[in-house]
Structure 1
Amino acid sequence: MSTLTTLLAGTVFGLALAAPPGPMNAIIAEESVLRGWDAGFKAGLGAATADFAFFVLALLGVVAFVEQLPLLRAAMVGVGGVLMLYFAYGAATEATETFTAEGTPEGESKGFRKAFVLALTNPYQILFWLTVGVGLLEAGRIDLLAEAVGASVAGLLVVETGTPALLVGLFGGIGIWITGFPAALVAARRRVDRLAPVVAYLSAALLVGFGVFFLYDAATTLTAV
């Protein structure tokens, strides 16, 4: 029973990790509405691949090492900010491109590479695997209801950390999101074709916001060193 609970908890956690608005979902949205489900899925797969890379690096202790080097972290964040601004320009430009007969703009999708590179320079993903991720990898037990409600419900919802079930659930939840989110966007685009450029412009605006914030973060870190 605890294994199933852990698997389900990991799935919910993976969905919660992947679903919030951010630069990764902005790229997934752009690729989905402009090029179709497969392009959106590939973009999501790029972000998920970066998460898996961070998972491996967390196991090896490399993530913690990077966090201890402010100059390296600032450089990564700065590169991420510049890339976001560049991809924002691309998203805004592609929103006005002509569409093919299938309803998708011409040109090969680069969503996987864009999402993967951005995820590798995303300090929030690094911070997640440095803190929460490390905690998930360590063997232990978390009684969620007892922590949230009290001892009267102890033992009803126990999650076992550091187990294959939790990790499978975590990446399974991410997989559900990167599969379902593009599908929902494509379905909406088919109903309202004008949604494609709107989403592209919103994605561009979101990427600009995150890009500026990342550059500010990098500059602040360099100033403090």
Structure 2
Amino acid sequence: MTLADLPASSPQHPPRAALRGIRPVARALVRLRWRVEVDGAHHVPAQGPAILASNHVGLIDGPLLTVFTPRPVHALTKQEMFSGRLGPVLRATGQISLDRFHADPGAIKACLRVLRDGGVAGVFPEGTRGDGELHRFHHGAAYLALVTGAPVVPVTMLGTRPPGGGTNAMPDRREGIHIVFGRPWTCAAQPWPRTREHVLATSALLWDHLRAELELALARTRRSLPGPLPAGQSGDDPDTGFLDQTREQ
């Protein structure tokens, strides 16, 4: 399967014009509360399909990714978020519901449709909030890249959770937040069939690239990550993907 083989976007994921109208207002509202700095935005391709792969430290990572990326983003979002007060907003802006604990071909197909339409898909490879150091790395971003050949742009979120804060903690008013876009990573699109070994090898290369870009982002901003979540607050996460046990807390 190639991008050209995929069907056009379904009505469940509206045109990116719906996001374009909301984003300027949302950016202004966010900046009333926090000092947000965006670095490396030029790394996001101006047109064509792209995949954003971000670390995940705080509750506001997803909204900030959607609002401050130079182009509208359709991000994979855990399905639990769609049943709460944010559900209507997530649906209206074309975010993609993901069942993290079971195979979810519908979510993958939705991402592929976004990419087929020349849009931007967002992924949090860690799967859940944590210290943001990419100890765990799920294979979804690598699979999307392998199917489509779309570039993967690393994203590092810094300051979106205070040091030592709990899973739902947010930075104090007027605190600084950095969103750092790193150098894109690409691989050749692989036609069907794609073996598990091929996906794992591709994912390992992407994982290395994202961790290297994370270190560069920390050095460039002279900031640090917030550290692990307090005991007992780590989110549930499926036992899949790579796990760097030498760095796991």
Higher relative contact order, chain-length normalized (CA < 8 Å, sep 6+):
1
TM-score normalised per structure 2: 0.24
Which structure's residues are more often helix, by fraction?
1
Which structure's residues are more often strand, by fraction?
2
**Structure of higher CA gyration radius:** 1
TM-score normalised per structure 1: 0.26
